[in-house]
Amino acid sequence: MSGIEDLGDLAGRRVLVRSDLNVPLDGDRITDDGRIRASVPTIEQLAGAGARVVVTAHLGRPKGEPEAKYSLRPVATRLGELLGTDVAFATDTVGESAHAVVGALHDGQVALLENVRFNPGETSKDDAERGAFADQLVELVGPDAAFVSDGFGVVHRKQASVYDVAQRLPHAMGGLVAREIDVLRQLTDDPQRPFAVVLGGSKVSDKLAVIDNLLGKADRLLVGGGMMFTFLAAQGHAVGTSLLEEDQVETCRGYLERAAAEGVELLLPTDTVVAPEFKADAPATVVSVEAIPDDQMGLDIGPQTATAFASALTGARTVFWNGPMGVFEFDAFSAGTRAVAEALTKVTAAGGLSVVGGGDSAAAVRSLGFDEAAFGHISTGGGASLEFLEGKDLPGIDVLES
């Protein structure tokens, strides 16, 4: 696949960049700017080459029309701060404001269009409607423009600004996407061993395909988070009021049997931190997974399990982690996630590859105060990372190969 260097001389050319700037907001305040910071190097590279950079991105899940709470205006401000220069902001996607802003760009300047999902054509399942919006984006930047795909968090989506535009303009992979693909291929093609996978988050159903695929590749699989209770139920344990997917119990039982048959070490928690309700100040108690009270819910792995998980990761040469071990946003239930994160930093320090698989795991690393440089790689795309590891084709990557 082509890289930016294959696009030729970019001075004076408009370059449409699909970035992933889907950051969490509290009102107009960005609470985690990790994805914006990850997008900066490619934008800087293009601007430094004299390109007139037009960034398109989404935020949240608007219904194909403008919604103030999903505006990218705060993102434009933060992007400008990180770039050290003003970022022009268009208040629409392909309308009067977009044409005025893009038309006024000079070499090396950057503009950000309003949330691309404010246009129904972006996410349409109808090829013609999606293509029509892509045509408008191409008209905005002109037929001599180029397209750079740098939003890894959306490459698993067949959407206008990800897929269809790439069919219409000379295209290249941005540095962020190239790095993501390189790291994930190290996990799937020939990982250094021992290879450990840590899975958490709320639902087993979100991870079925990745468990299926990685059970044949990993040496150890550690399961925590809300999904652990469905596995515990498959072992015959009562889980109180904890999150439980009853329709997945048999599936989990099958995974336990398959892991044993294939010699994969599948570790489940032996203790958990429970509380009577889902609240930050709920009284927390540590109990054995064999004695979860009927009126309590598990909100974190317990200290014994945290120690066991950290020990299981010691000596691993490759670790992939997706999904927190508990409700890390609440201090009383963050210790398990912190223990796993700390163990990954030690893998990195020992020369191994530690990969934080985006989404809530990446947010947890930052919110718990870890230095991002202590990990081998922090993915910007939770869903895209999982689909890659499931062995699925990613439309936004496939189109770049054409």
Pick the CATH number of 190-390 from 3.40.50.1260, 1.20.120.80, 3.40.50.740, 3.30.2350.10: 3.40.50.1260
Delimit the domains of the chain by residue range. Answer: 4-178, 190-390
359 an active-site residue?
yes
Return the ∠ at Cα 181 (arms to 367 and 187), rounded to 5°. 80
Beta bridge partners of 18: 56, 149
Structure tokens at 221: 């699989």
Structure tokens at 391: 């062995």
Residue 220 annotated as binding?
no
pLDDT (tens digit per residue) in 228-250: 999 999 999 999 999 999 999 99
Residue 322 annotated as binding?
no
**CA 210, 17, 399, 139 torsion-angle sign:** positive
Residue 366 annotated as binding?
no
pLDDT at 383 over 90: no
Structure tokens at 92: 């629409």
- Higher pLDDT pick, 357 / 337: 337
Q: Strand 195-199 to strand 220-223: parallel, antiparallel, or no bridges (unpaired)?
A: parallel
For residue 107, what pLDDT band results from cuts at 50, 70 and 90? very high
**CA 351, 356, 361, 363 torsion-angle sign:** positive
Establish whether domains 4-178 and 190-390 are of one fold.
Answer: yes
Pick the CATH number of 4-178 from 3.20.20.105, 3.40.50.1260, 3.30.420.40, 3.40.449.10: 3.40.50.1260
How far does Cα 248 stand from its chain's mean position?
Answer: 24
- The DSSP 8-state label assigned to residue 115 in this structure reads -
Residue 323 annotated as binding?
no
pTM over 0.85: yes
Which of the following is catalytic: 13, 35, 130, 220? Answer: 35
Query: Nearest to residue 337, comparing CAs of 351, 325, 349?
Result: 325
Residue 298 annotated as binding?
yes
pLDDT number for residue 233: 97
pLDDT number for residue 360: 86
pLDDT at 70 over 90: yes
338 an active-site residue?
no
pLDDT number for residue 378: 93
Which of the following is catalytic: 73, 168, 179, 203? Answer: 203
Instruction: Collect all residues with Cβ–Cβ distance below 8 Å to 305 and sequence separation of at least 6.
Output: 224, 269, 270, 271, 272, 336
Alpha helices in 49-125 (DSSP H): 73-83, 96-103
Structure tokens at 197: 């996978």
Spatial separation of the C-alpha atoms in residues 390 and 387, rounded to whole Å:
5
Spatial separation of the C-alpha atoms in residues 243 and 245, rounded to whole Å:
7
Which of the following is catalytic: 121, 131, 302, 359? Answer: 359
Residue 344 annotated as binding?
no
For residue 56, what pLDDT band results from cuts at 50, 70 and 90? very high
323 an active-site residue?
no
Residue 19 annotated as binding?
no
Which of the following is catalytic: 108, 142, 383, 392? Answer: 383
Q: Which residue in the block uniquely carries the two structure tokens 């059970």?
A: 215
pLDDT at 391 over 90: no
